[in-house]
Amino acid sequence: MQAEVFALLICIFAGLSTAAGGLIPFFAKKENTSLLCFSLGLSAGVMVYISFMEMLPEAIENLAHTFSRRTAGLLALFFFLLGMAVIALIDRFVPEETNPHEFGHRDGQLRKMGLMSAIAIGVHNFPEGLASFMSALADPVSGVAIAIAIALHNIPEGMTVSAPVYAATGSRRKAFMLSLLSGLAEPVGAVIGFIFLRSVFTPFTFALVYALVAGIMVYLAFDELLPAAENYGRHHLVIYAVILGMTLMGLTLALMA
Q: What's the Cα-to-Cα distance from 221 to each of 33, 141, 189, 214, rounded to whole Å?
A: 18, 34, 24, 11
C-beta of residue 174 within 8 angstroms of C-beta of residue 37: no
Say which residue, 108 or 66, is predicted with more confidence: 66
Q: Find out whether 155 and 248 touch, Cβ atoms under 8 Å.
A: no
Three-class SS state of 202: coil
Higher pLDDT, 46 or 149: 46
Q: What is the pLDDT of residues 124-167, one digit of tens each?
A: 677 667 767 766 766 676 667 667 666 766 777 787 778 778 87
Name the least confident of 6-10, 32-36, 99-103.
99-103
Number of CB atoms found within 10 A of residue 154's CB: 29
Residue 98 has pLDDT above 60, yes or no: no
SS3 32: coil
Q: Is the dihedral of CA 71, 75, 77, 78 positive or negative?
A: positive
The pTM (predicted TM-score) of the whole model is 0.66
